[in-house]
A = this chain, B = another copy of it.
Amino acid sequence: MTGRHADKVVASVAEALAPLRDGMTFLVGGFGLSGNPEALIRGVIERGVRDLTIVSNNAGNLGKGLALWLKAGIVRKVICSYIGNNEDLHTRRASGEIAVEITPQGTLAERMRAAGAGVPAFYTPTGVGTVVEHGKETREFDGRRYVLERALPGDVALVRAHTADRFGNLRFWRTARNFNPVMATAAKLTLVECDHLVELGAIDPDNVHLSGIHVHRIVHVPEHENAFEYRNVRKRP
């Protein structure tokens, strides 16, 4: 009998992705192209699964990130907060190839946080009086109206971390953290791609951003593209 938390480090992206199946719901970390699990995203296409549901803030951009899945035709549905200039998604939404569900960004994050925290539903002020409340229950507490939102769990989370130890304790880098930790808590199977892999004890207990309790497989990927979307700079004085 072996628990879920022994021997998490796998040798390859392909091995990390072995349990994937058609039709699964994927929570994919990243805000725009920042903090994307780049190798796992590419690996899913090679893995050959299809009919996927993506939960992601942007579902790719500039033809990169999850735009690769859109172009590969393996996505059935996208739950996101913002399409923006992700033309690959605009096109496939317009053609009806992909169903798109747009959710306020904070509600998206909180629905996954709830899924990870064992909370099936919660009330939020966001979206009250807008199209977001259509078809949902609303209710007043202390004189203010709120909308009931449901937890949003995933079958698989694809997570990008800066540093992981062999148990899966994670640290993230700057704003590459974004949705990654909360998605890790909300999926049945959490796969982590880390820039740096360290031994147990290398991260002080107080410096762990996300406990390895939420991580199931880890693959060490030292090289990443880390694409820029808008490279804004100022001149040195």
Interface-lining segment among A78-86, A88-96, A113-121: A113-121
What separation, in Å, do the CA atoms of A173 and B205 have in the docked complex?
A: 9
Interface residues of A in 114-152 (CB under 8 A from B): 114, 117-125, 141-142, 144, 146, 150
Most chain B CB atoms below 10 A, which of A121, A146, A177:
A121
- Once the chains bind, are A124 and B118 in contact (CB under 8 Å)? yes
Query: Does A2 interact with chain B (Cβ within 8 Å)?
Result: no
Q: Does A193 make an interface contact (CB < 8 A)? A: no
Within 8 Å CB of A177, what residues of B? Answer: 206
In the complex with contacts A119-B124, A121-B122, A122-B121, A141-B146 CB distance below 8 A? no
Tell me the minimal C-beta distance from A158 to chain B in angstroms. 21
A171 within 8 A of B: yes
Contact, CB under 8 Å: A141 / B121: yes
Interface residue? A172 (CB, 8 A): yes
Are the CB atoms of B110 and A117 closer together than 8 Å?
yes
Partner pick for A171 among B119, B122, B206, CB 8 A cutoff: B206
Is the beta-carbon distance between A119 and B122 smaller than 8 angstroms? yes
Q: Are B124 and A123 interface neighbours, CB within 8 A?
A: no
Task: With a 10 A CB-CB cut-off, give which of A124, A150, A172, A174 has the most chain B CB atoms.
Answer: A124
A207 within 8 A of B: yes
| B residues less than 8 Å from A119 (CB atoms) | 110, 122-124
Q: Which residues of B contact A142 (CB under 8 A)?
A: 120
Give me 13 other A-B pairs in contact (C-beta within 8 A), A110-B119, A114-B122, A174-B205 excluded: A110-B117, A118-B124, A118-B125, A119-B122, A119-B123, A119-B124, A121-B122, A121-B141, A141-B150, A173-B206, A177-B206, A206-B209, A207-B207
Interface residues of chain A, those whose CB is within 8 Å of chain B, are: 110, 114, 117-125, 141-142, 144, 146, 150, 171-174, 177, 205-207, 209
Could you give 28 example pairs across A and B, Cβ below 8 Å? A110-B117, A110-B119, A114-B122, A118-B124, A118-B125, A119-B122, A119-B123, A119-B124, A120-B123, A120-B141, A120-B142, A120-B144, A120-B146, A121-B122, A121-B123, A121-B141, A121-B146, A122-B122, A122-B123, A141-B150, A171-B206, A172-B206, A173-B206, A174-B205, A174-B206, A177-B206, A206-B209, A207-B207
